Amino acid sequence: MKFDEFIYNQPDMSVLSDKLKNLIQNFKNSSSFEEQDQVLSKINELRKHFETMSNIAFVRYTKNTFDKYFEQQQNYFDEINPIYENMIGEFYKALLQTKFKPQLQKKYGNQIFNIANARIKTTSSEVLDELKLENKLTSEYRKILSQAKIPFDKKENTLSQMVYYFYSQDRSIRKSSNKAYWDFFEKHSDQFSSIYDKLVKTRTSIAKKLGFNNFIELAYFRLNRTDYNSDDVRIYRDEVKKYIVPLSQKIYEKQKKRLGLEKLNYYDEPIFYKSGNPIPEGSSKDLLEKAKKMYDELSAETSDFYRYMLCNDLLDVESRAGKAPIGYCTFISDYRSPFIFANFNGTIGDVGVLTHEAGHAFQVFNCQDHFFPEYYFPTYEAAEIYSMSMQFFTYPWIKLFFGDKKEKYFYQHISSAINSIPYGVSVDEFQHFVYENPGCPSLERNKKWIEIIKKYNPHTDYSENPDLEKGISWYRQTHIFEVPFYYIDYTLAQICAIQFWIKMERDKKSCWKDYLNICKIGGSKSFLEILKEGNLESPFKLSCMKNVSIFLQDYIDSIDDLKIDF
């Protein structure tokens, strides 16, 4: 069944509430494990159906934010999701207190209990109104971005469409397009600042009412981080500063020399080669067809998955007015279907997004039979391993997309992966500062952003853009507004994905076996447990960053970047 044929009906919360309450009571009153397991199955079916409707509404709204009906539906879910989460909190409490816990653990593993233990700490009836407000504020932020109309090149552009000009070989176009892009954020800076002020205040209030010292502690529980904490992350950031930042700075220095520049300005960073970045050959439709050949040849599993996605129109990759400027993969459980959402813009990033989101979709495609909806996807930092690793597994087919420019793609992809890590820890450290100092004025907050950016990205030069010098560039980072503290995850996963790349170079067959194994695990294990199953070293282990950086350094040194710049 194609996505447009998926049926949407607005959930009736009063009906759902009554059914869930009765089932939870039946769960508590079960006289045997078998009886309780049957009730549990009914609870999960209710949950899966609600989440199916929520995800269909979200996809259809983000496909067209001008659609008034689905805007209303999104607003509806913003209102009822906190109520729903509170109801699920009652289910989690019953699950944790069951006398049949040993039998459930034996059948379904312990991770559902870890998740339940974390999630019951994140909500209560006392904070429902504030949770609704939090949802409303994030939707308000998303709407501003989605409906951006930026005049440039004699037409109106979305934020995603503007990125195309950032890759121009003409430096004046790069500079002017960046100015037009950032003018939008400056124009709306008061709105963004106000929304974020309210979010910080609201989240801090929620955390206090739930018994936490600050929102940081609550955020970690929201993200189901059950086997590491903020101290582990702080040490990890220090390791990035020690081993990855110097390598990243070397890459930027080589880029400056390749481009023949005395100074690498912020608007120069996207253009990697003097001859221009590699551009995928063909239209969006062509890229999707080429990906079919790639996934057919990669493995039988990826072939079945990708053909299913194409056949059922489960990819929306065209950029257009009103479409949310984001990329994501979600799962429509009633229809056992992943959905990939992206905004192609004719740049190298199109192939990156296609392989990245396909990694997410492939993972959840392998987990559609999991009993608990919590097991469809793992926690965020683990989920990103699948997406980032897929980008490496598809290396042998990159020629399909870039022809004789494939070596340019490889070097740019690796370099960008390395450079993304210092930026990722910058986002994380900034958020720790914000929620440790929730009363910090917006101007001071922006100054702190610049200070942190300079710490991990010392080459950054905003001198030609006073607005960026004021520290507004974080306004575009949707995670900071919508999913606080979900960003360090990308960097943790990148370190793990690079390990897969290292293993792939040595033994492709066993490497793919490990990858497929953890794809099937999904969310049934914690982050560190998944690493163990995949024979990967934890990024929190002090030797890990050093070992990875040595391999990356050797790779960067082995490439004659001037030779491939043609």
**Per-residue confidence at 135, pLDDT binned at 50, 70, 90?**
very high
The residues spanned by each domain of the chain are 3-131, 229-280+380-566
Model confidence at 228, in pLDDT bands (50, 70, 90)? very high
d(CA 15, CA 496): 44
Report pLDDT for 349.
92
- Of all residues in the chain, what percent carry a pLDDT higher than 90? 99
Please give the Cα distance from 177 to 163 (Å, whole number): 8
Write the pLDDT tens digit of every residue in 260-297: 999 999 999 999 999 999 999 999 999 999 999 999 99
Give dist(CA 169, CA 160) in Å, integer. Answer: 19
Predicted pLDDT at 415: 98
Dump pLDDT digits (tens) for 146-160.
Answer: 999 999 999 999 999
> pLDDT class for 214, splitting at 50, 70, 90?
very high
pLDDT at residue 529, as a whole number:
98
Handedness of CA 428, 430, 433, 439 (dihedral sign): negative
Q: For 389-443, what is each residue's pLDDT tens digit?
A: 999 999 999 999 999 999 999 999 999 999 999 999 999 999 999 999 999 999 9
Residue the block writes with tokens 């949707």: 478
CA 332 to chain centre: 18
Alpha carbon distance 79, 131 (integer Å)? 9
Q: Cα Rg for the chain, rounded, in angstroms?
A: 23
Backbone angles phi, psi at 342, to 5 degrees: -150, 170
Please list the helix, strand and coil fractions of the chain in percent, rounded to the nearest 5, in that order.
Answer: 70, 5, 25
Residues 229-280+380-566, CATH architecture: Orthogonal Bundle (1.10)
Q: Pick from 425, 435, 406: which is nearest to 348 by CA?
A: 406
Task: Round to whole Å and give the CA distance between 465 and 179.
Answer: 8
Which residues make Cβ contacts (< 8 Å) with residue 7, sequence separation at least 6?
Answer: none
Each residue's pLDDT tens digit, 455-508: 999 999 999 999 999 999 999 999 999 999 999 999 999 999 999 999 999 999
Give 45-103 pLDDT, tens digit per residue: 999 999 999 999 999 999 999 999 999 999 999 999 999 999 999 999 999 999 999 99
Q: How far apart are CA 355 and CA 374, in angstroms?
A: 24
Amino acid letter, 492: L
The b-or-e profile of 415-428 (16+ CB within 10 A means b, else e) is bbbbbbbbbbbbbb
pLDDT of the residue at 158: 94
User: Can you tell me whether residue 537 is helix, strand or coil?
Assistant: coil
Would you state the pLDDT for residue 176? 98
